Amino acid sequence: MRQIHVLNGPNLNLLGRREPGIYGAKTLADIEADLREIAAKSGVSLTFRQSNIEGELVSFVQEAGLSGADVILNAGAYTHTSIALRDAIKGAGARVIEVHLSNVHAREEFRHHSMIAAVSIGVIAGFGANSYSLALRALLDLSAA
């Protein structure tokens, strides 16, 4: 069965409580449930993880890439700072879609640059929790093509 890993970075465990005006009211568990429903209908298996620790995210990316699984990655603030995540994506050959709940380009200047976009196959930002389902559908469409 095809594997897709959904990896979430720092502070995403606080979704639903953290600045709902920016990030929405859905929790990470709500997003996971939505994605599992789509995945079940599509015959794919999801691995869903969250960590506030950069090194753990690096290990998650490596594991996914080396096993041939696709990745939906919301690296949170590590998007803008982590050369380690960039190197893990590239080194493990992970096929990654970078995801953000908010439109990072309409926010603070420091959020406008992504360290991982150049090694990702695409970036989806600004659609709230739907950013994840759009990424999942994109990966499913890529496989069908």
pLDDT in the model for residue 104: 72
pLDDT digits (tens, 9 = 90+) for 70-121: 999 999 999 999 999 999 999 999 999 999 998 777 566 756 679 999 999 9
Residue (of 118, 117, 125, 138) closest to 99 by Cα position = 125
Of the candidates 5, 23, 78, 132, the residue annotated as catalytic is 23
Alpha helix positions (H), 1-129? 20-23, 28-42, 54-67, 83-92
Q: In sequence order, what are the residues at sequence separation of 6 or more whose Cβ sits closer than 8 angstroms to the Cβ of residue 132? A: 6, 31, 34, 35, 72, 74, 99
* CATH (domain of 99): 3.40.50.9100
Q: What are phi and psi of 14, to 5 degrees?
A: -95, 5
Q: What are phi and psi of 82, to 5 degrees?
A: -95, 100
Residue (of 52, 60, 46) closest to 15 by Cα position = 52
How does DSSP assign 7-28, residue by residue?
EE-TTGGGTTTS-HHHH-S--H
| Total of domains in the chain | 1
pLDDT in the model for residue 109: 77
pTM: 0.92
Residues of the chain with pLDDT > 70, as a percent, come to 89
* Mean pLDDT estimate for the chain: 91
Q: Determine the 3-state secondary structure of 82 from DSSP.
A: coil
Residue 74 belongs to what domain range?
Answer: 2-144
Task: Give the pLDDT band (50/70/90) at residue 24.
Answer: low
Is 144's pLDDT higher than 70? no
Task: Give the pLDDT band (50/70/90) at residue 15.
Answer: confident
Whether 100 is catalytic is yes
Is 23's pLDDT higher than 90? no
Of the candidates 5, 78, 100, 132, the residue annotated as catalytic is 100
pLDDT digits (tens, 9 = 90+) for 48-62: 999 999 999 999 999
Is 31's pLDDT higher than 80? yes
**Listed range (39-53, 98-112, 131-145) with the worst mean pLDDT:** 98-112
The alpha carbon torsion through 28, 70, 96, 33 (nearest 10 deg) reads -10
